Amino acid sequence: MRTKKRFLTRNESYLLAIVLIYSTIVALKNPAFLSFENFFDLLRAASGKLLLALGVLVVLISGGIDVSFTAIAIFGGYTSARLMLATDIDNLAFAFLVSASIGILLGSINALIIHIFRLPTLIATLGTSSVFFGLMTILVGTKSINAGQMPSSIINFGSARLFEAVAPSGNTYGLSVFIIPVVFAILVTWFVLYRTMLGRGIFSLGNSEESAKRAGFNLFLIRFFVYSYVGLLAGIMGVVYVAEVRWVNPVSLVGTELSIIAAAVIGGAKLTGGEGTILGTILGIIIIQLFNSTLVFLGLSSSWNDLFVGMILLISVSVTSYQQRLKSRRSLTFSD
């Protein structure tokens, strides 16, 4: 008998419930949380993280763990800004082209190292993360760029909105243009994972490398795409990040990679590979961004953020592990 496909997985249902319950608690404590102005600010702040999380999701599904994507993002964003200042090319498309190209190049280096030397992905990307950071400081420099020095095209991009409205306080707010690359990345990631043979190969590789090889998938091409793709999204995020904060230095973003990986895992992606959803990853980012942005509404310090994120991560991993054990038991029962 064919079962009807559910719109939400069980894990996604839990995460959506957490978002709704937590948002209700914050709103009861401080009604200002429910304003459209705050909602659009949350979307803007989460845009860059979501770009990185989508790349991390693809890597996790393939059975890998990449911790170099933040180094790639700042490499691309910082280099593009410095290059724009050095060449007097004040053009947003140029910034994205430079940063995305750097991301693809560095991501492909990860793929080559992982595939040729058969290194564990965590160890390989941990090493390349330091290498990429060192190369950036040697080749590009370590000088910070403040808002007064930033190219005007990046400043304008950071403040641009698809539409604007006026709040009762007189302040203007609206939907940031950052949503455009995010929506594009979501659609491309969905299409690749669920509508192409390449996507099937990514899931197959994550479930079993040997099975993927026997099925005829080219493991090198799959890995090359996976790490080049996460590099591409990291490069795009580098420009978005620079535009968001309106200043940049070489140590920006360093140390934030674990929270992005945690968001994907909270969303249901398995660290062992072969499983993960785009909606779950989006909900994971929303939860982490909610904690980052709303603790002040509850009168709590930012130090509580790690506690809440850690608790949800442990619960999410435990539930996923428990569901997997139940599934395995059912499989053994039916096989008998």
pLDDT tens series, the chain, 336 aa: 344 456 678 788 889 998 999 999 989 988 888 888 888 999 999 999 999 999 999 999 999 999 999 999 999 999 999 999 999 999 999 999 999 999 999 999 999 999 999 999 999 999 999 999 999 999 998 899 998 999 999 999 999 999 888 877 777 889 999 999 999 999 999 999 999 999 999 999 999 999 999 999 999 999 999 999 999 999 999 999 999 999 888 888 888 899 999 999 999 899 889 999 999 999 999 999 998 888 877 777 777 887 888 888 888 878 777 777 777 777 665 544
CATH architecture designation of domain 10-24+32-320: Orthogonal Bundle (1.10)
Q: E strands, the chain, where?
A: 161-166, 172-176
CA distance 268 to 12: 8
Beta-carbon contacts of 249 under 8 Å, excluding residues fewer than 6 positions away, are 78, 142, 143, 144, 145
Q: What pLDDT is recorded for position 181?
A: 97
For residues 125-155, one letter each, b for 16 or more C-beta atoms within 10 angstroms of the residue's C-beta and e for the rest, the string is: beebbeebbeebeeebeeeebeeeebbebbb
CA distance 312 to 317: 8
CA distance 8 to 295: 28
DSSP code, position 248: B
Closest CA to 289 of 191, 154, 155, 178: 178
CA distance 279 to 186: 9
Q: What pLDDT is recorded for position 2?
A: 40
What is the pTM for the complete model shown? 0.93
